[in-house]
A and B are shown apart, each in its own frame.
Chain A
Amino acid sequence: DTAVSQTPKYLVTQMGNDKSIKCEQNLGHDTMYWYKQDSKKFLKIMFSYNNKELIINETVPNRFSPKSPDKAHLNLHINSLELGDSAVYFCASSQDDRDNYGYTFGSGTRLTVV
């Protein structure tokens, strides 16, 4: 049973295309996140949703739009893809009691824009 699952695992697409990455968690967590890991392995938060409500929206281009249809899902849609969007995108989740359980990460989606 995968706790936080992302699809697809790999995504290769051309500049200018629109693509989506899906994330689902079966942990019953209240909060979900999107993180971007660049080529230097640096991890930076992009968005956070708590019970379908947007909590964090970092300085991310508005070509990126998260959508949370319910507490267990947080999808990421990217319009007009650019070369600089190439990265690994991680979905994560946490419950309010993150003191004990921390954050659980998905396996990542490697996006390559050509």
Chain B
Amino acid sequence: ELKVEQNPLFLSMQEGKNYTIYCNYSTTSDRLYWYRQDPGKSLESLFVLLSNGAVKQEGRLMASLDTKARLSTLHITAAVHDLSATYFCAAYFGNEKLTFGTGTRLTIIP
């Protein structure tokens, strides 16, 4: 079965702190995507990770991919309130099918 699991499901953290969201997937995939969703809004593309060892950074967010461990991480550095949102990872397993993780609802507390 094609599965993508994220943890934690809920994350409440203080401004200025660092934290990591983990994304595990069940079978071989060489394309991993991260999205952000604000309440009542669409999904905004954050990162596309294509190969083992890929690392991408944008502002306070950094994503990495380890295809051997079937693991991607989204690291948040010195969190600010504007980063409060739900973050999804999604793995491409072929056949035009993008499978999403369960999402991590991130709340940054002042």
Contacts and interface: CB of A to CB of B under 8 A. Distances in A.
Interface in B16-70: 31, 33, 35, 37, 41-43, 45, 48, 50
Nearest to B105: A41
Contacts of B90: 43
Contacts of A33: 96, 98
B97 A48 contact: yes
Interface string A30-43: 01010100000111
Contacts of A31: 96
Nearest to B100: A43
**Dominant secondary structure of chain A at its interface with chain B:** strand
A66 interface: no
A98 interface: yes
A41 B86 contact: yes
A90 B43 CA distance: 9
B33 A102 contact: yes
A44 B42 contact: no
A55 B31 contact: no
B42 A99 contact: no
Contact of A42 (B48, B95, B96, B103): B103
A43 B33 CA distance: 14
Nearest to A31: B96
25 contacts: A33-B96, A41-B37, A41-B86, A41-B103, A42-B102, A43-B90, A43-B100, A44-B100, A48-B96, A48-B97, A56-B95, A56-B96, A56-B97, A98-B31, A98-B48, A100-B48, A101-B48, A102-B33, A102-B48, A103-B33, A103-B45, A104-B45, A105-B43, A107-B41, A107-B42
